[in-house]
Amino acid sequence: MPVTPPGTDPATAAARLVNVRARIAHAAAIARREAGDITLVAVSKTHPAEAIAPLIAAGQRVFGENRVQEAQAKWPELRDRHPDIALHLVGQLQSNKADEAVALFDCIHSLDRPSLLTALARAMDKAGRRVPCFVQVNIGAEDQKGGCAIADLPALLTQARGADLPLAGLMCVPPAGIEPAPFFALLDKLAVDHGLTGAGLSMGMSDDFETAILMGATHVRVGSALFGARG
């Protein structure tokens, strides 16, 4: 009898999706928010098309990838079959990949520096499409992480507005091993302080997305809770 590879069983994928959506709805209810206002981004990085297909079959339509090259290898065929899928870039982006990113993705979560902003604006002008971008903030001031320093955020937002770059909101990845709520609250405050009231907040992953929702997240980036732990 054939054995189904890990992460590809449709029943398991459907059950995980139901569970994550229920947790989103519960957190939203506690925060007196509508669950439908929170976008679940299924982070499919490192997972093959065979592991993604069951989630698509179960109704998930927004996916996130970390790398342009990996997304180029597996998503064109999947999107041919499911043209209603939205693809988000949730990992760091090199400026020399801006053209490919603008062509492939529907949203970019990692705008973090002026040189990348310039490359993206040029790529969008060339492609004739405007791709919404979250500005990634280095919320914990960690040297090893990408993201715009908090002190540099006003200038980057001004440059983005001047380049007619669609601002989706702010994104962050809190430091590991520390209670994330204060960092989520800080990102929300930064959005308000910089005139982004009503814009998106991309924050929260498998271990902390419920806390992020309580703090105002509009987009949660969930990988292992949907796909299982990577081998």
List the domain range (segments joined by +) for residue 193: 10-225
Q: What is the total count of domains within the chain?
A: 1
Position 4 in a domain:
no
Position 35 in a domain:
yes
- pLDDT of 148 reads 96
For 141-209, give the secondary structure using H, E and C.
Answer: CCCCCCCECHHHHHHHHHHHHHCCCCEEEEECCCCCCCCCHHHHHHHHHHHHHCCCCCCEEECCCCCCH
From residue 30, give the alpha-carbon distance in Å to each of 23, 35, 155, 210, 231. 11, 11, 36, 10, 34
Position 231 in a domain:
no
185 token code pair: 């609250």
Cα-Cα end-to-end distance for the chain: 23
Residue 83's CATH number = 3.20.20.10
Tens digit of each residue's pLDDT, the chain (231 residues)? 333 444 456 568 889 999 999 999 999 999 999 999 999 999 999 999 999 999 999 999 999 999 999 999 999 999 999 999 999 999 999 999 999 999 999 999 999 999 999 999 999 999 999 999 999 999 999 887 889 999 999 999 999 999 999 999 999 999 999 999 999 999 999 999 999 988 999 999 999 999 999 999 999 999 999 998 754
- pLDDT of 2 reads 38
Position 173 in a domain:
yes
Q: What secondary structure letter does DSSP report for 137?
A: B
Position 137 in a domain:
yes
Strand partners, 43: 64
- pLDDT of 198 reads 83
